[in-house]
Amino acid sequence: MLLFSGGFISIAAQSGDTLSAYHLEGDDVVFVFDVRSYAKELLGKNALKVDFVDLGIYEVAITGQFNDWSKKGWRMEKKDEFTFILRKRISDFNDVFPLDFRYIINGRFLADPEGEITDTRKFSDDFLEDIYKVDLSVIKIKEDGNVLFSLKGHTTSKEVILAGSFNGWNEHAIRMNKVSDGWELHADLPPGRYEYKFIADGKWLHDPYAVENVTNEHGTLNSVLNITVPVTFSLPGYSDAKKVILAGSFNNWNERKEQMYFKNGAWTSTLNLPGGKQTYKFIVDGKWITDPNNPIKEDDGYGNINSVLFVH
């Protein structure tokens, strides 16, 4: 499926039914939280002997890059005794799928994005990985990978860890290699926008040589890495058109910049784009049209209908 290729997340349900941490329903992304799964991890074998009411879970929310890691998050609605649901439009997300997010239970994080456990009873990202079977890591360590992470200096550090949105901010999994002038690591990443930091002997550091750094929810800086992939847009027909322009979110809807060329019965243009959602239209001799071969469309909130493409 075009929208969520590789982005479905499965969990092991207590009842034997197949549930999802989130799934697609039409133009909606639906998040599901099951109290029984929470209890299984929190209480282990004793979960079946405990009245779930005793857990005192009265409010569940989710937070992530999609809402700027809000401390309050997006509140989920209680569906029944065990289940909380949140329904959001696809247009609410600009993130690369699979989504990196955290649950906030009764106003408290299970674990914040840098791994600090704020529920004193337990919990780190193992809850998502072990119970919800979420693979938060999309990075692969490869010598011939498309990315080189480098931290200059810190030659006296005993250990430097690489953590980021590409691995759920795991602060133990990826150890960098020591070189003569610092630390480095070759890796392979799919297209997308990623935030990352280095951890030198336990101290979190942003990359001072990164092209872009952004402020995170802790008031410190995360470094940003954009990985692009060539995407070809094609509009068959319209052989009598004098000019066709490609405009979209990737070029700020510029009406003149990206001119398409007619070849083999279609107007085409190839651009290097980051992963995630892109919206676009074709301008045929001054007339704006959606992509007739792409059924995925959305309203931009101003009465305009745009075609939608998820780059992955």
Read off the tokens for 266: 């279609």
Place 44 in a pLDDT band, splitting at 50, 70 and 90: low
Residue the block writes with tokens 């200059």: 152
Determine the pLDDT at residue 268. 96
Residue found under tokens 């027909």? 237
Q: State the chain's mean pLDDT as an integer.
A: 78
Average pLDDT over residues 233-259: 94
Using only C-alpha atoms, the chain has a radius of gyration, in whole angstroms, of: 22
Place of tokens 């690591």: 185
At residue 95, the pLDDT reads 63
What is the phi/psi pair of residue 141, to 5°? -80, 115
Average pLDDT over residues 26-49: 67
pTM for the structure as a whole: 0.51
Q: In DSSP terms, which residues pair with 268 in a beta bridge?
A: 234, 261
Mapped onto helix, strand or coil, the DSSP state of residue 60 is: strand
187 CB-near residues (< 8 Å, 6+ apart): 139, 140, 141, 142, 145, 147, 148, 149
State residue 82's pLDDT score: 79
| Contact yes or no for 234/267 (Cβ under 8 A) | yes
CA gap 102, 90 in Å, rounded: 18
* The predicted structure's pLDDT at residue 4: 20
User: Edge-to-edge, what's the strand order for the sheet holding 9-12?
Assistant: 9-12, 18-25, 28-34, 83-89, 77-78
- The predicted-structure confidence for 59-117, as pLDDT tens digits, reads as follows 888 888 788 878 788 999 988 877 899 999 887 887 666 677 777 777 765 433 344 43
**Whether the Cβ atoms of residue 109 and residue 118 lie closer than 8 Å to each other:** yes
